[in-house]
Structure 1
Amino acid sequence: MKLKKFLHIIENSPVFPVIYDSKRTVLSLPPIINGAHSAITLKTKNVFIECTATDLTKAKIVLNTMVTMFSMYCEKKFEVEPVEVITPDKNSAIYPDLSLWSLEVDLPYISHSIGVPLQVNEVITLLNKMQLPARNENSSIWVSVPPTRSDVLHKCDVMEDVAIAYGFNNIPKTKPKSLTQGKQQPLNHFSDLIRLEVAMAGFTEVLTWILCSYEENFSMVNRKDDRKTSVIIGNPRSSEFEVPRTSLLPGILKTMGHNKDQPRPIKIFEVGDVVILDGEKDVGAANHRRLAALYCNSNSGFEVIHGLVDRIMEVVGVPFVSVGENSGYYIRPSHEPEFFPGRQASIIFKGKTIGVFGIVHPEVLARFDIPDPCSVVEMSIEPFL
């Protein structure tokens, strides 16, 4: 049973990974089990560290961390022997890659963010305390990030380390230059009211990442990238976080797939932001607040989701009207690829499509490893403000 959570990684693979030595003695069958032949004992002198993963970036981070930590126990401290890895396409790479990478940080950014006027030499000294070698070059601070600091991704991480080394308690307390009275943003307040109503309808709220993989955002839900909607992250640190989501559907289906063993019916929902390209915005994209709800049981429960849509419209104060009228909302057949043909409908509010609901397509359910039929609604809630 302990191996069950790893079996899905290779169960549909035509080949299985195996690690063996020059005498073809099996050392490991990742990700299932290790061999007793290579077990470490008190007499072990030479240690071979191998790391396998489905994400190369994560594998590199784990390998670098393990190697650098173990290296302090070597006969020659902090000295390790590299290994050449040859991939099936005949390319080769040397691991571990313990090279440093440089990050430029401006002194004004650090001082302004912390709220303390610091000199360049002070910042360099503080960074050295945090195991981040730094140097002054052309009025900029260049930080050399070692392989032991995989948590440093952005200049804000460097600024945080400076603040930690300086001491949070040493930062002087100051009063705001202006007095203001804060209150909740109207959109956030409205979102909370929607959450309350959906929860009272028997649905459980879930929270998913706003970043997802490119595959989850498109092909896994039968969608195609039109190159006009989705923001693409230029240098993602993980294959799981390649794009900001353009829909709440992948996240809620992924949650359902990971909880498919829970008692039926399963009723979950999420109120959150999606990110859509927008040339009129200064950053080139905009957040849009949406609601998504899912019902899963031995039957599709299409009527349950339809009833939830009607309930939301009722509490918002939007009446159901005849097709073509703009004084309320109505529904009409839709043709979205993520839903089953003929079992889906668009939600029209004041002449504009604000959402869609229907029975999820069986192909989509299979990709998320969901065995039972599901019905989903996804709609924008901003038009109601």
Structure 2
Amino acid sequence: MAVVRCKLASLLLQTLYLCRRLDAPRYRRVSPTSGEPQKLIITEETAAVRPHAVAAVLRDITFTQERYDSFIELQEKLHQNICRKRSLVAIGTHDLDTISGPFTYTAKPPGDISFKPLSQTKEYTATQLMSLYKTDSHLRHYLHIIEDKPVYPVIYDSNGVVLSMPPIINGDHSKITLKTKNVFIECTATDLTKAKIVLDMMVTMFSEYCSQPFTVEEAEVVCPDGKTCKYPELAYRKEKLSSEFINKKVGINESTEKIAQLLTRMCLLSQPTGAGDEIEVEIPPTRSDVIHACDIMEDAAMAYGFNNITRTTPRTYTVANQFPLNKLTELLRQDLAAAGFTEALNFALCSQEDIADKLGKKISETKAAHISNPKTAEFQVARTTLLPGLLKTIAANRKMPLPLKLFEISDVVLKDETKDVGARNCRRFCAVYYNKSPGFEVIHGLLDRTMQLLEVKSVRGDGYHIHAADDSTFFPGRCAEIFVRGKSVGRLGVLHPDVINRFELTMPCSALEMDIEPFL
């Protein structure tokens, strides 16, 4: 999901103020009534793990059991979605009356960090905590974020008390309770923008319960370069769009004033500017999900009521057409099955061994896209060839009557620096023949049939031809490269006995693999 919707928390407020016919709240950042703002100092050591941090204070808040439970639940919900399971942002909430600022956000070797974590009875070093939480059903999912780092992030108060070791656990000393009146909130992050959004979301949702509703006490964050920033930002911004745009996209016909009213009902304070049908919309800090005019249009449609939109017939008619590559693939599947081969469908992920060692190649030569955090050894990389999947299918069906004739037409993934994602999909066709004899003539015949179906003649130049080639996957002298219109598109031949043995097979096998896309 490209943009994380933050509407869930704000919809409750919207409903409340709609029912009570009240204006949407105005959130304000205020200075402390006495003394200096709480200060969070970031040291340069944090650059190796989580370089960013923001902070704020909810002053004189009143918790009930329901509010307290909701406060904890909101943290967990934010951790799971916009925080991306704490990998982008980790939230720490502390009873400000139990600690003393200024606070220091730094990073130390795990052996140098020692404190009593939340819900524990004694102190542990960070190294001991990582071992302790490996069996914890909740926290073990976050250990990998910092486990391999040379230093771990940690926040201290001016007396050396540990507030938290983000993104794993808070300290027990500063835990909040129903009696907590002042809450210090800190968010450490690898993404500063996400940290600001999360902090704004936390404080706006619970500032209503402060003695001065909808106000948040500011905190100063001092960066390693000496730059000082004040948080939370609680930024209101304005966007302009036309009522014609909303009417056209939603499928309604309402006046500019009416649409402005609809948006205001959704807590997006709006009013006509007087310049034609232009509407100025104010986006509050609770709506970080609104990043485009389409998001505002969606809110207008919700306020209008989807069931109230008149059903109409489209003014234009279009005929859908199958993607050419998929159409060619479907046609080939039918004729290859008619040629006596059985189609197989294998996983797009495989192990490094499958596409490299077992085929007699080096993993560095395969242009494979690696999975950064594979869950099993069977799914480490995206496949760069279809051959291992078919050979493993044969190995799992060795009791079936011979010969075994299988094929697969599917995508492989190859690294490509010219693409914005660094890799590209390539449609491949692969077939194998497994019997007491290699059956190279069978695979060669299948190639000729495939080229006949693709209307490519067996001639040099504008047609296709094969040429002897060397490949560690194939038996020496029994491998050929396939050329179409002078361009190499694949290879066929008799598999090397070592390759066959590595896939736990006992009979000779011949194979063919080629690209499909050049034939479009």
AA at the equivalent of 1:384: F
SS at the partner of 2:239?
strand
Q: Which residue of 2 aligns with 1:260?
A: 376
For residues 227-306 of structure 1, the aligned pairs below 5 Å read 250=369, 253-254=370-371, 257-262=373-378, 290-291=425-426
Query: Which residue, out of 151, 161, 166, partners 1:25?
Result: 161
Look up the match of 1:104: 240
Deviation per CA, 1:197-255: give whole Å up to 9, x if none.
9x94442258xxxxxxxxxxxxxx99xxxxxxxxxxxxxxxxxxxxxxxxx965xx33x
1:76 matched residue in structure 2: 212
**1:159-198 pair list within 5 angstroms:** 159-190=297-328
- Cα deviation per residue 1:92-126 (whole Å; 9 max; x = unaligned)? 22221111122222222211111212221111111
Q: Distance in 1 between matches of 2:345 and 2:318?
A: 39
CA distance in 2, matches of 1:141, 1:355: 59
1: CA distance between counterparts of 2:345 and 2:449?
Answer: 17
The answer to whether the 8 Å contact 2:382/2:412 transfers is no
SS of structure 1 residue aligned to 2:241: strand
Structure 2 Cα separation of the partners of residues 327 and 35 of structure 1: 72
Which residue does 2:519 correspond to in 1? 384
Alpha-carbon distance in 2 for matches of 1:271, 1:172:
46
- Structure 1 pair 179–16 and aligned structure 2 pair: CA distance change class (3 A): closer
Counterparts of 2:257 and 2:303 in 1: how far apart (Å)? 14
Provide the C-alpha distance between the structure 1 equivalents of 2:416 and 2:251, rounded to a whole number of angstroms. 32
**Count of matched residue positions in the alignment of Structure 1 and Structure 2:** 285
Q: Do the aligned partners of 1:187 and 1:382 also contact (CA within 8 Å) in 2? A: yes
Cα pair 1:313 1:319 within 8 Å, conserved: no
The letter of the residue matching 2:312 is T
Structure number, greater radius of gyration:
2
283, 286, 294: which is aligned to 1:148? 286
70-79 or 132-141, larger mean C-alpha shift: 132-141
> Is the CA contact (8 Å cut-off) linking 1:191 and 1:271 kept in structure 2?
no
Q: Tell me the distance in 2 between the aligned counterparts of 1:312 and 1:73.
A: 74
1:373 corresponds in structure 2 to none
Out of 463, 471, 478, the residue aligned to residue 327 of structure 1 is 463
The answer as to 2:195 corresponding to 1:59 is yes
Q: Distance in 1 between matches of 2:226 and 2:183?
A: 26
CA–CA separation in structure 2 for the residues paired with 1:37 and 1:319: 77
Specify whether residues 95 and 382 from structure 1 end up closer, same or farther in structure 2 by C-alpha distance, changes over 3 A only: farther
Q: Which blocks of at least 5 consecutive residues in structure 1 are unaligned?
A: 207-220, 223-247, 279-284, 294-310, 334-345, 357-378
**Offset of residue 133 of structure 1:** 1.5
Distance 1:97 1:331 in 2: 67
Letter aligned with residue 231 of structure 2: Y
User: Contact 2:269–2:281 at 8 Å: present in 1 too?
Assistant: yes
SS in 2 for 1:204: coil
Residue of structure 2 in register with 1:204 after alignment: 347
- How many Å separate the matches in 2 of 1:97 and 1:329? 67
Which of 45, 53, 64 in structure 1 is aligned with 2:181? 45
Residues 289 and 381 of structure 1 are in contact (CA less than 8 Å); yes or no, is this contact kept in structure 2?
A: no
Q: CA deviation at 1:290?
A: 3.1
Hey, what does 2:258 align to over in structure 1?
A: 122
Shift of 1:9: 2.5
User: Given the superposition, is the C-alpha separation of residues 277 and 143 from structure 1 closer, same or farther in structure 2, using an over 3 Å criterion?
Assistant: farther
User: SS in structure 2 opposite 1:42?
Assistant: coil
Distance 1:69 1:350 in 2: 65
Greater relative contact order (Cα < 8 A, sep 6+) = 2
Q: 1:238 maps to what in 2?
A: none
Matches within 5 A, 1:328-367: 328=464, 349-351=484-486
Query: CA 1:36–1:89 in 2, change beyond 3 Å: closer, same or farther?
Result: same
> Using the alignment, how far apart are the partners of 1:312 and 1:54 within structure 2?
52
Question: How far apart are 1:383 and its partner, in Å?
Answer: 3.4
CA distance 1:264–1:185, change in 2 (3 Å): closer
Amino-acid identity (%): 43
CA–CA distance in 1 between the matches of 2:468 and 2:209? 69
Q: Secondary structure at the match of 1:48?
A: strand
Change (3 A) 1:323 1:106: farther
- Return the alpha-carbon distance in structure 2 between the equivalents of residues 194 and 18 of structure 1: 60
The question of whether the paired residues in 1 share the 8 Å contact of 2:427 and 2:517 is answered with no
Distance in 2, Cα, partners of 1:95 & 1:150:
16
Q: Provide the C-alpha distance between the structure 2 equivalents of 1:332 and 1:23, rounded to a whole number of angstroms.
A: 76
In 1, Cα distance between equivalents of 2:243 and 2:297? 9
Q: In structure 2, what is the Cα distance between the partners aligned to 1:154 and 1:324?
A: 55
The answer as to whether partners of 1:195 and 1:271 remain within 8 angstroms in 2 is no
Shift of 1:18: 0.9
> Please, which runs of 5 or more residues in structure 2 have no aligned partner?
1-133, 337-341, 350-362, 384-388, 390-409, 429-445, 470-480, 492-513
Report how far residue 143 of structure 1 moved: 1.8
How many Å separate the matches in 1 of 2:230 and 2:317?
A: 58
CA displacement at 1:186 relative to structure 2: 3.0
**Distance apart, 1:194 and its partner CA:** 8.7
Q: Deviations over 1:133-157 (max 9, x none)?
A: 2232233222221121121121111
Going from structure 1 to structure 2, the CA distance change for 1:382 and 1:292 (only over 3 Å counts) comes to closer
- Between the aligned partners of 1:141 and 1:31, the Cα distance in structure 2 is 42
Q: Which amino acid aligns with 2:196?
A: K
Q: In angstroms, what is the RMSD of aligned CA positions?
A: 4.8
Report deviation, 1:42. Answer: 1.7
Conservation of the 8 A alpha-carbon contact between 1:323 and 1:331: no
